[in-house]
Amino acid sequence: MSTLAGLARMPTAGGKRGHLVNFPVPAQVPAVDWRETLRELLRSVQHMENWQLLAPLVLGPLSLPVALVPGMDLGTVADLIPNPESFLRDLLNPHTVC
């Protein structure tokens, strides 16, 4: 079966086959709150078993004067990072080496 024939068999909206689904594109895409995104990422790291070993690797080059103690909210560290967008882009770069 060709790829196009396979696509014709895929169900779409309304149970029709062979039709593309029309998704409306919002007029304005909401802005990303980079600080809040970073805050949630750091809180996710904190839920990992060895978070106190992992957090310094994630925060590495920043050299923040923060003691990683049990019971702290790691998400608050996001407020100390001057440019959260740049930090996240560098961290999530597939060429980043830890």
DSSP sequence for 35-56? HHHHHHHHHHHHTSTTHHHHHH
Token couple for 21:
């689904």
Q: Which amino acid is at 43?
A: R
Task: Write down the pLDDT at residue 79.
Answer: 92
Q: What is the pLDDT of residues 27-50, one digit of tens each?
A: 777 788 999 999 999 999 898 888
Q: How far apart are CA 98 and CA 85, in angstroms?
A: 19
State percent of the chain over pLDDT 90: 22
Q: Please give the biggest Cα pair distance in the chain.
A: 61
pTM, rounded to two decimals = 0.62
pLDDT in tens, 46-95: 988 888 888 888 887 677 778 888 888 999 999 999 999 998 888 887 67
Query: What are the CA-CA distances from residue 56 to residues 21, 85, 91 (Å)?
Result: 45, 19, 13
